[in-house]
Amino acid sequence: MSIVVLDNVKKSFGAVTVLHGVSFSVEKGQVMALIGASGSGKSTALRCIDRLEQIDSGRIEVCGHQVADPALELRKLRLDVGIVFQSYNLFPHLTVEQNITLGPVSVKRMPKSEARQVASDVLAKVGLADKASAYPEQLSGGQQQRAAIARSLAMQPKVMLFDEVTSALDPKLTGEVLRVIEQLANSGMTMIMVTHEMNFARRIADKIVFMHEGKVHEQGGPEILSAPATPELRDFVSNEL
């Protein structure tokens, strides 16, 4: 069962075409790594999936929602999709727990006591059980990113999108965030992750999609990283390692 389908998706910003007919799909429980050089359209593709951008043509289906349909209720789509960016976007004036309970209480109308229990569960999952009452500025970058992942998990999404979530972190803190993502992958979460961590992608991804100049240039299992079919992927992989 496909959780995310992009079918011939085109997207331009003004005169600049960024997605030239992108197609890929992710099945339930699959981990997809979306890779490619800076500017190849990875973030735009992810943003279209959550309709942070509207596409010009083609089709996107996410958990049964027709994403490009102007009549789609965005709230319903966004209940099913969790998205985590490079910048953590935690509210600085709220504690970690308050950051996490905000969505369940305000969007899902969950009672506060239940939301606190959910916060405690997701914080344990990301290894921050002892940070519920801390403020974001009291946490390291890696801890803030894990709190941002916990906040997303608290909404119980059906698919998680990660856009270079470790790019702002130094290598020591990168590992702790990647471990959380790996655990999530092992727990069966469907996910699309944009990443430059090739070894990580090779280890945990079921499927690699390589974008080049706004197109899917090559896709397949993790073995394509070791045996690229195209010179573009070969160059990309050799630059990243």
Neighbour tally for 219: CB within 10 Å: 18
Q: How far apart are CA 173 and CA 170, in angstroms?
A: 6
Q: Are 210 and 219 in contact (CB under 8 A)?
A: yes
Alpha helices in the chain (DSSP H): 42-49, 74-80, 96-106, 112-125, 141-153, 171-186, 198-204, 223-226, 231-240
Choose the binding region for Mg ion from 13-21, 43-51, 62-70, 135-143 (rule: CB under 5 A): 43-51
3-state secondary structure of 3: strand
Choose the binding region for Mg ion from 36-44, 90-98, 176-184, 197-205 (rule: CB under 5 A): 36-44
Q: How far apart are CA 123 and CA 154, in angstroms?
A: 9
Residue 38 in the binding site for ligand ADP (CB under 6 A): yes
Q: Which is nearer to Mg ion, 61 or 163 (CB)?
A: 163
Residue 44 in the binding site for Mg ion (CB under 5 A): no
Q: Which is nearer to Mg ion, 139 or 201 (CB)?
A: 201
207 binds, among Mg ion, ligand ADP, none (CB under 5 to 8 A by kind): none
Residue 43 in the binding site for Mg ion (CB under 5 A): yes
Q: Which is nearer to ligand ADP, 53 or 182 (CB)?
A: 53
Please count the residues of this chain forming the interface with ligand ADP, following the rule CB under 6 A. Answer: 11
Choose the binding region for ligand ADP from 13-21, 101-109, 111-119, 145-153 (rule: CB under 6 A): 13-21
Spatial strand order of the sheet with 81-84 comes to 81-84, 159-163, 190-194, 31-35, 207-212, 215-220
Tokens of 185: 């992958």
Q: How far apart are CA 98 and CA 109, in angstroms?
A: 15
241 binds, among Mg ion, ligand ADP, none (CB under 5 to 8 A by kind): none
CB of residue 203 to Mg ion, shortest distance in Å = 22
Q: Which is nearer to ligand ADP, 37 or 134 (CB)?
A: 37
By C-alpha distance, which of 50, 40, 38, 36 is closest to 6?
50
Q: Which of 30, 40, 98, 99 forms a contact with ligand ADP (CB under 6 A)?
A: 40
CB of residue 194 to Mg ion, shortest distance in Å = 6
Binding site for ligand ADP (CB under 6 A): 13, 16, 18, 36, 38-44
